[in-house]
């Protein structure tokens, strides 16, 4: 498996988050962001115990190939 970093949040104070990765074997995206801890928002989700939710700024979607015209060939 090779993870490809597609983009990192240029506004991150320490340059560590949010980040979008692509796993070329599983053909899936991995998104690093702030873990959602707000109980009110989590209560609105049908979230299984083995999953979590992270949030990223809207401008981070520019790194997804389907958004930026790059397709899935990363």
d(CA 54, CA 36): 5
Inter-residue contact 73 to 64 (CB < 8 Å): no
Does residue 8 sit in helix, strand or coil?
Answer: strand
- Position 71 confidence tier, pLDDT thresholds 50, 70, 90: low
Question: What is the predicted pLDDT for the residue at 66?
Answer: 81
Q: Is the pLDDT of residue 34 over 60?
A: yes
Nearest to 10 by CA among 57, 43, 68: 57
Mean pLDDT of the chain: 88
Q: What is the pTM of this model?
A: 0.79
Q: Is the pLDDT of residue 70 over 80?
A: no
Cis-peptide, bond into residue 34, ω within 30° of zero: no
């Amino acid at each position: 498996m090779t993870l490809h970093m597609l983009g990192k949040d240029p506004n991150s104070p320490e340059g560590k988050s949010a980040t979008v990765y692509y796993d070329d074997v599983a053909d899936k995206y991995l998104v690093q962001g702030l873990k959602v801890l707000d109980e009110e928002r989590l209560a609105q989700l049908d979230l299984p115990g083995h999953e979590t939710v992270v949030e990223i700024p809207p401008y981070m979607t520019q790194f997804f190939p389907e958004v930026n015209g790059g397709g899935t060939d990363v």
